[in-house]
Amino acid sequence: MARSDADLIEAARDIQTQAHVPYSEYRVGAALETADGEVFVGCNLENANYSNSLHAEEVAIAEAVKTGHRDFARLAVSSGRRDGVTPCGMCRQTLAEFCDDNLRVLCDEGEDAEPTEYTLSELLPNTISQETLE
């Protein structure tokens, strides 16, 4: 059964309940859909040493990659504030390692609004890639 964009946003919202955010109190959830329709979710996990915190998008892509997925269709990102949060620069680069430039990224703008949609290449033009390192 095909999921709608709204279903993917809802999955990103739902996983926020599992976020560990004692410092920022800023819950983020991500839902990453594979090309074959499987969805992997992740939430942010903060650490007192901020640099060791994990971002929702990183957790979702790690779950997918560790089970052998390498072809992705869409990513939905949502915060508890429903403020249109986009993946940070570090997460954009991680996504670029595993996803095509045309990955659809849906950013939750709230209950009464359509999500804002980007492609990964819009969010991260001129990405660092294996080709740029050769």
The residues assigned a catalytic role are 57
Q: Please say whether the beta carbons of 112 and 80 come within 8 A.
A: no
Q: Which of 73, 80, 87 is nearest to 116 (CA)?
A: 87
Burial class (CB in 10 A: 0-12, 13-18, 19+), 50: exposed
